[in-house]
Structure 1
Amino acid sequence: MSKDIRIKKGLDLKLKGDAEKVVSVVSRSKVYAINPSDFNGVTPKMVVKEGAKVKAGEIIFYSKNDESVKFVSPVSGTIQEIKRGEKRVILQILITADSQDIHLEHSKKNLKDLSSQEVKEQLLASGCWPFINQRPYDVIANSADTPKAIFVSAYASAPLTADVDFVLENKTEAFQAGIDALAKLTSGKVHLSLKGKEKSALENISGVSIHKVFGPHPAGNVGVQISKIDPINAGDRVWTVAPQDVATIGEFFLTGKFNATKTIALSGSEVKDAQYYTLISGAQISDLVAGKIKGDNVRIISGDIFTGNKVTQNGFLGFYSNTVTVIPEGNEYRMFGWMPFASPSIHSAQRTGLSWLMPGKKYAPNTNLNGEERALVVTGEMENVMPLDIYPMQLLKACIANDIDKMENLGIYEVAPEDFALIDYTNTSKLEAQVIIRKALNLMIKEVG
């Protein structure tokens, strides 16, 4: 039986620059990129060399740790450059795109006739497998595992992120096919979470257990939903897939082609006429933002403001990004910045400013941290924005100390860096909680497996 999820702890940060629900098509980039850094824990082994011609959906590299997991080209074209760093670590693969895509075609098969193993083989061969992430550790799922459940969160609660219902309103058939494929991969249920109090076209999707989610961010985080619906115990494996990626998986089974086209929200206070755009994954940021940014002193983020990565206009859209956010850069000194009441235009999560008197006001924050890391931790502060049933402060301390036993006891298997994003924003100590958790998870992979 489905159950509603009600979250009280958290914070809804209201920001200027929501994307208007209008979709335009971005002109085709001349160059596309695949960044191995988008795939945590993956060591790429190249299949092609510089100068090679590739089709859209053709294998570019595979994971050294799991050779069955393939990564494919988003477009057809020529491998322009394989950028390497120290010890020849692959940093980026650049692809000069053809004027029109030629797709690598796979045979179309009826999902109803496929076994679990056959569906898995199709996903691995097509390049769709990297869309499937695993908890614990928040990494690409191990192809040898069978999860106890699969979770899809169609509630984007982070500020300025793409509205899932709007993005998928014309893709319900593909989404249903994706759900049907995922259902073949688990002995348990496929859980679909929707925003409470709002009607959704996804309410009619079959083969899923639907949950309505109520509450502030991070209620939309899949980790929060897992903890409320089917918590992870020792030895469990749970898989998660983003809604647009479910539709991409479904489209592959319907057409036999890997289609890396996605709809993203270009949002933020520094965007002129923020709206939605359709483009291909790995596209150059400059083609998206050209002529659409108000000023020069801005921060462009591939992703949302809490968990996204900083990119330049010469950078590229991340593999998992469904939002590009543009906000003011925080490199300007603010007079009397130490005085919390100096400016009513600044949001404060701790009631040290005036923002708590104006709950409906929208803000245009910059990237200024308003202070350096401090040798203090305010007791109870982190718990106010952490809806998971864990002790976040104690877990972070155990992670900093690399104390594996304490990390296990305090819930490291249940969390991902995104679950600590609000702590990054609100905590007085200025700790980089997401970085700490990511390092701790990597340590657990290395030491525990």
Structure 2
Amino acid sequence: MKTVTLKRGLALALDGAPEQTLHDGPPIRHVAWQRPANTLLQPEEAVTEGQPVRMGEGLFRDRHAPQVRHLAPASGIVSRIERDSRQQLTAIEIRCDASMACRVERFAPVDNAHQLRDLLQRSGLWTHLRQRPFETTPPPDATPAAIFITAMDTRPLAADPAVIIAARATEFGIGVDALAMLTAGPVYVCQEKASRLPDRQCKRVQVVAFSGTHPAGLAGVHIQQLYPCDREHPVWHIDCQDVIAIGTLLQSGTLDFGRVIALAGSNVRQPRLLKTRLGARLDDLLAGQLRDTKNTDPICGSVFAGKHRRWLDRFDRQVVSSGMLSMRSGTAVSFMSKSGAKSGTRSGTRSGAESGDIQLNGFAAEPRFDRISALSMPAVPLLRTLARLDFAAAESMGCLDLAAEDLELHAFVCPVGNDYPAALTRCHRQLTGHP
């Protein structure tokens, strides 16, 4: 097994680390489908508020990719439809009703790549794949040069994916072998050095161990180390829990909307791993879980760049609640003072990528940029071009195989508080011609 050791990164010792054992989460009364990030959608024939839907039923038809379905994650009544300032559909909330039957559709087994592609698109799991360059949902007819499966997480207070995989090892293995059908290139299963994931029979599946502090667990780091991509050679990546969902679909022919998240932080009564469901409403998930419910504002995602959401996003793997996170400004200051570093005042919420307003305050070369960076290119020149919104220069430096999460640490330690993740997202949108 190949091992990649990374010497750069940042480790934070924070209170409220989750117990790495699986527990049943509280009942979820509301769930939501949410728009995949950086994906161009043109919904038609959409459901309306007050309309009953069954789990697994289509919520709308996308004119750009009608073969890729977007399904209801639960049975119930459509209680809320959200749109952004440009009237683009962003979320469909469902009030769960356990008495309503699910949409029972037994998906047939697959024998080849064409059938698997069709299955993933009809089941809605296609939208859990991410393609780089540009960190978007792959086009329905795309073929990757390589596929990366993320089976590790180095974010502070994160769940250990090895624990989750161990509970569903058979389904995970089925999913890994299936994904190998979608590419003629390698399939990399990226894990921590100490993990012991089962070996696969397919010779193109390569298990690679990464050692180091965050961001050693990010897909962007794995891609740059093992198979750098460009416009002509796109690669895909997918989280291990979505691989398990694919394996479940292939094994039983049924959809799996269950997910495991780490509930962590000093304000959590019992930090642990919770089994919940895709798109769960935070109010339901956190009921009875927090010590202080008045002076806290839990975030979904990492402590470096988590967002205040109403529901779990499809790619959220942790929810953090801490006294240090109760203010929308100064979040990074609290954490960095604990880790002995310096930072400008920032919010734990980065809304610039969604709103179009990016917080950029000039550029100051910070020595820690390169110390914490695991990027294959020098960090300072790239960050300088993004701060100037010089996107052509950023592309020439190799920004295409990066995603917003790859620059979270740089924003976290930035002395002037620049939002580099949002600047990178704006860069990708301009380079692709998307609004």
**Is the structural similarity TM-score above 0.5?**
yes
Matched, 1:11 2:10: yes
- CA shift, 1:122, in A, is 0.5
- Count of matched residue pairs: 418
Once the two structures are superposed, what CA deviation does each residue of 1:64-112 show, in whole Å capped at 9, x if it has no partner? Answer: 433322211111122223233445332321112121563333444444x
Structure 2 residue corresponding to 1:303, chosen from 277, 301, 304: 301
1:343–1:64 Cα change, 3 Å = closer
AA matched with 1:299:
D
Structure 1 CA distance for aligned equivalents of residues 393 and 363 of structure 2: 21
Partner of 1:156 in structure 2? 153
- CA shift, 1:244, in A, is 0.4
TM-score (norm 1): 0.85
- CA shift, 1:42, in A, is 3.2
1:344–1:256 Cα change, 3 Å = closer
AA matched with 2:37:
F
Partner of 2:403 in structure 1? 416
Structure 1 CA distance for aligned equivalents of residues 62 and 133 of structure 2: 19
Partner of 2:423 in structure 1? 436
Once the two structures are superposed, what CA deviation does each residue of 1:18-65 show, in whole Å capped at 9, x if it has no partner? Answer: 1113333223322211222x4323325143233333221111134443
Structure 2 residue corresponding to 1:132, chosen from 110, 129, 132: 129
SS at match of 1:316: coil
Once the two structures are superposed, what CA deviation does each residue of 1:1-34 show, in whole Å capped at 9, x if it has no partner? Answer: x521111111112211111133332233222112
Partner of 1:322 in structure 2? 317
AA matched with 2:287:
A
Matches within 5 A, 1:183-262: 183-196=180-193, 198-200=194-196, 202-207=197-202, 208-262=205-259
- 8 Å contact kept, 1:103–1:258: no
- 8 Å contact kept, 2:148–2:236: yes
- CA shift, 1:256, in A, is 1.5
Structure 1 residue corresponding to 2:169, chosen from 162, 167, 172: 172
User: Which 10-residue stretch deviates more, 74-83 or 40-49?
Assistant: 40-49
Once the two structures are superposed, what CA deviation does each residue of 1:145-202 show, in whole Å capped at 9, x if it has no partner? Answer: 1101000121101101111011222211111111122111111111001101x142x2
TM-score (norm 2): 0.88
Structure 1 CA distance for aligned equivalents of residues 329 and 121 of structure 2: 50
Structure 2 CA distance for aligned equivalents of residues 373 and 185 of structure 1: 40
AA matched with 2:383:
L
- 8 Å contact kept, 2:308–2:349: no
1:310–1:147 Cα change, 3 Å = same
Matched, 1:348 2:340: yes
Gaps of 5+ in 2: 351-358
1:5–1:87 Cα change, 3 Å = closer
Structure 1 CA distance for aligned equivalents of residues 349 and 181 of structure 2: 47
Structure 2 CA distance for aligned equivalents of residues 259 and 387 of structure 1: 34
Structure 1 CA distance for aligned equivalents of residues 100 and 143 of structure 2: 35
Structure 1 CA distance for aligned equivalents of residues 208 and 311 of structure 2: 34
Structure 2 CA distance for aligned equivalents of residues 163 and 122 of structure 1: 29
- 8 Å contact kept, 2:146–2:185: yes
Structure 2 CA distance for aligned equivalents of residues 24 and 423 of structure 1: 34
AA matched with 1:167:
I
Which consecutive segments of 4 or more residues in structure 1 shift more than 6 A?
342-345
Percent identity of equivalent pairs: 25
AA matched with 1:140:
T
State the structure with more CA Rg: 1
AA matched with 2:314:
F
SS at match of 2:142: coil
Structure 1 residue corresponding to 2:277, chosen from 271, 277, 280: 280
User: Which 10-residue stretch deviates more, 325-334 or 19-28?
Assistant: 325-334
Structure 1 CA distance for aligned equivalents of residues 65 and 269 of structure 2: 43
SS at match of 2:14: coil
SS at match of 2:210: strand
1:376–1:107 Cα change, 3 Å = closer
- 8 Å contact kept, 1:107–1:256: yes
Partner of 1:39 in structure 2? 37
Structure 1 residue corresponding to 2:412, chosen from 425, 429, 446: 425
Structure 2 CA distance for aligned equivalents of residues 316 and 110 of structure 1: 32
Structure 1 CA distance for aligned equivalents of residues 43 and 244 of structure 2: 28
- CA shift, 1:275, in A, is 0.9
Once the two structures are superposed, what CA deviation does each residue of 1:250-289 show, in whole Å capped at 9, x if it has no partner? Answer: 1111122211111111011211111111111111212221
AA matched with 2:70:
F
- CA shift, 1:378, in A, is 2.3
User: Which 10-residue stretch deviates more, 212-221 or 85-94?
Assistant: 85-94
AA matched with 2:417:
K
Partner of 1:359 in structure 2? none
Structure 1 CA distance for aligned equivalents of residues 376 and 86 of structure 2: 41
- CA shift, 1:203, in A, is 3.3
- 8 Å contact kept, 1:128–1:258: no
Partner of 1:360 in structure 2? none
1:227–1:180 Cα change, 3 Å = same
Partner of 1:81 in structure 2? 80
1:187–1:25 Cα change, 3 Å = same
Partner of 1:48 in structure 2? 47
1:193–1:52 Cα change, 3 Å = same
Provide the aligned C-alpha RMSD in A: 2.8
1:399–1:124 Cα change, 3 Å = same
- 8 Å contact kept, 2:298–2:326: no
Structure 1 CA distance for aligned equivalents of residues 212 and 427 of structure 2: 28
1:12–1:346 Cα change, 3 Å = closer
- 8 Å contact kept, 1:105–1:256: no
Gaps of 5+ in 1: 335-339, 353-364
- 8 Å contact kept, 1:271–1:292: yes
Structure 1 CA distance for aligned equivalents of residues 419 and 192 of structure 2: 29
Partner of 2:353 in structure 1? none
Partner of 1:20 in structure 2? 19
AA matched with 2:242:
D
